[in-house]
Amino acid sequence: MAENTITLAHGSGGRAMSQLIEDLFRRAFDNPWLNQGNDCAVMDSPPGRLVMATDSHVITPLFFPGGDIGSLAVHGTLNDVAMSGAQPLSLSVAFILEEGFPVVDLERIVRSMADAARQAGVPVVTGDTKVVPRGQADGVYITTTGLGRVAEDVNIAGNRARPGDAILVSGTLGDHGVAILSLRENLQFQTTLESDTAALHELVASMLAAVPDIHCLRDPTRGGLSCCLHELAQQSGVGMIIDEAQLPVREAVAGACELLGLDPLNVANEGKLVAICPENQAQALLAALQQHPLGREAAIIGQVVEDPHRLVRLKTRYGGMRHVEWLAGEALPRIC
């Protein structure tokens, strides 16, 4: 591209916008559906039930240890689709760009998105670009929508947790949130921690192959594990008890949270999931998780219980019990 920065002309629908699409987006995402050149992608309808999820990404900083807004936008939406047990089929993407945004940064982000989509085996088949005047955005915002297919015999939903079920997590908690916080100008501290951002649909497929009767899946992103468990407890009308001694938290995350006055249970993850299944199948599910590269640090962390108040409680290392509060307000803004 001739320009070094994004201009309003890149969103005008004219020649500059056409060149941006041809020189950057179509070249990076290259696939038969996108190359049709229409305002929509036309695809064959697969058998089974369809799943759709959409997510907007406004993270700051745009580039962080272990990823960037581009790969995050792909992984986040693929994971929302995968949490129904579905196999993702395709993605759409919408960019809101701020006038003056460096083209070199946009190229880096688009290449990262394309690599993430290619590695996940899910094409970006359609998209949109808008440009807003300088000062009316913060560089770039990205919205991705994912389409997937779930098999007829898979029934995973947030209202299926039952008393006696086991609660599992696929790995260490809070890595993404602490990696982002380590770069914030007013929160700088030393850590080698990287974001855990990753696409989880292949992990989910291996879990379903081992334990078809998984009741609930959810990725504990913004709001962390505590919000995830509260959401599931509310939907299913049950309580949850988790064991502090079983929670996988890296020392770097625990130390950073202690320094900043945060609870690791409230810190965002972008490559982890929570699974709830019948107690007698928990060990089989744990084994399936630990055999996959994205689930090696998985753990059984608690149990679903009867509770008309739908509380989430933590059994402490000292044998006591405390409520896990549902996060109030925004403790960690612009984290994903």
How many residues are recorded in the chain? Answer: 336
Residue 229: its pLDDT value, please?
Answer: 98
Residue 279: its pLDDT value, please?
Answer: 97
Residue 261: its pLDDT value, please?
Answer: 87
Residue 187: its pLDDT value, please?
Answer: 64
Burial annotation 233-253 (CB, 10 A radius, 16+ → b, else e):
bebbebbbbbbbeebbbbebb
Amino acid at 29: F
**Using one digit for the tens of pLDDT, what is the confidence trace for 291-323?**
999 999 999 999 999 999 999 999 999 989 999
Burial annotation 142-173 (CB, 10 A radius, 16+ → b, else e):
bbbbbbbbbeeebebebebbbeebbbbbbbbb
Residue 190: its pLDDT value, please?
Answer: 66
Rounded to 5, what percent of the chain is helix, strand, coil? 35, 25, 45
Return d(Cα 287, Cα 40) in angstroms, integer: 42
Return d(Cα 62, Cα 72) in angstroms, integer: 10
Return d(Cα 276, Cα 157) in angstroms, integer: 10
Residue 185: its pLDDT value, please?
Answer: 55
Distance between the two ends of the chain, CA-based, in angstroms? 29
Residue 327: its pLDDT value, please?
Answer: 77
**Tokens at 270, concatenated:** 């972008």
Q: What burial class does residue 60 get, using C-beta atoms within 10 Å of its C-beta: 0-12 exposed, 13-18 middle, 19+ buried?
A: middle
Ranges of the chain whose pLDDT falls below 70:
1-2, 185-190, 329-331
**Using one digit for the tens of pLDDT, what is the confidence trace for 3-35?**
799 999 998 888 999 999 999 999 999 999 999
Residue 189: its pLDDT value, please?
Answer: 67
Residue 128: its pLDDT value, please?
Answer: 94
Contact 50, 151 (CB under 8 A): no
Neighbours of 211 (CB within 10 A): 20
Neighbours of 298 (CB within 10 A): 26
